[in-house]
Structure 1
């Protein structure tokens, strides 16, 4: 029977300690998560600025739902593009310094929407080997040739570009890599895109709101201005504390995406309530230097606290602080040891990360305190 194969595959995942498990939270997103009635000090969330439960966003939602209701009723290109969506897109474009922006329902939809709209058969995409799964899927959907270069290896990338005879070329990279926490060499990527007449698509899921002046993102952090060939993707469900994503770029690129991007056209527009909440979040991000400063202090405190211990922190100055453990059973044991101490840090295993590099993915937030970080450090030292 065809379903018996699924049973065998699930059993294989279980024997390799690769089964994922969902946990139901009984609390709002914050430093503490209540599961089965028990509070855990949580270092799991991508709510880097601690905005997911901010009163200003709650008030924006309450006010918006009274004015606009809960649903959009249609796709953006039919009847679902409402005034809050329009105001949000203009605010996003102005915030990152682009000519125009387009609001998508999720980051995944933005990523799989942009690549197939810019390239197709006979073209080539040059992608960092550690790109997010959504970017990998985006290339496969485009049917373009998929050339992967070693992580952040610009010499390798240039060799691939120079040898390519593709009609159109597209360089594709995360800005901040979600499992390593390091930053792509954005200036060099832009230089290579210019030299080889390629599109440059940057997914800034983990940099938007955290890096750059006033949280404008990784491009601003790198001092990289927009050009006609640069396409920027920002995620709004992480540091912004809401959900959705946007693509920013030249007016021509955004118009083309609006006309041809399937994941934008063929889906119901997000609730106008979300758009209103994101507009409120942008104001908090723009005025959030104190939050970003506190977050950097926490990062330094964690790194100093684990310095000299057996745990190997990957080099990252971002809120993502990965601790490489090694094998699946070992990382699960450490994660369970933390849970026994009332601390929740997720164990990340293959295929999300390479075999043999299973890790704890510590996510810090401006909502955490120094004492909470010290509690995590002490627990890790005890487990070491």
Structure 2
């Protein structure tokens, strides 16, 4: 996956990009071919499309040859290229939200298998602020409006489709894992072994029955695998594991702060704002993503809404099982649903002390 590297060499190639490699959003935006859009529109007129529940909608039942070819090229960009892409061309103003959800599902299904995003069972995530007046923001921040620092999701790939923009803010922010690796290799190599070994993660009660709430194994932040570097990184759940389990050492905290510093540097951070109908896809092992805080419109029908997918790649990517936080059945990514399951409760909201660099809240 992406450019090969030895432990003593920096990573070159498309995956080790810097922010100034892109003049504007068009440099990483792909326009869906007209034939692919037409295929979706034809599919939407069939009974199989109209009558299917979202989870049972099967891309194999529709003639989507142009779409499949486009998404195969995109997966190659995600896996062996720069690691992210914005897809444009869905005429979102022509269709209802349920139809757009199904279009997005079919597009994502041409990349991989959608996996569950919480123990409550949501496979298509509504990224929107659901905080009620006087309540704390949710522990799972895709249900709140606050800023998110750099993190990865669970699954080989993640996707976000914009339905409505915020009144203000809500920009997407990304950076390259391989550029972070290069910076640390050059400027702070003493913390690299700690990041390569990784950290324990808190599962916040969303793990399946019989599993410990904290991973008994380390999950690499910059792991060497088959000649390249892969990452899983969410600072909040690392900190929660340190709070409720074995406390983090000073070296571990230095390693985390160093990682965050390079992940947030101006040289590495690329910021953009999705327009309605646009879809952002990223490789979860080589691209970190974040979000700026946003302000919603008072009109509920105009509030910010993005649709999220977590995808396990088809064909399957060869990724070590220790990158999977939740030890799901059959090695699935994401978070397997369970009877009576719920998203992480408020007790797992975590904020670092003011003198520490604030971590990513959990998405």
TM-score of the two chains, using structure 2 as the length reference = 0.26
Larger radius of gyration: 1
TM-score of the two chains, using structure 1 as the length reference = 0.25
Question: Which of the two has greater helix per residue?
Answer: 1
The structure with higher relative contact order (CA 8 Å, sep 6+) is: 2
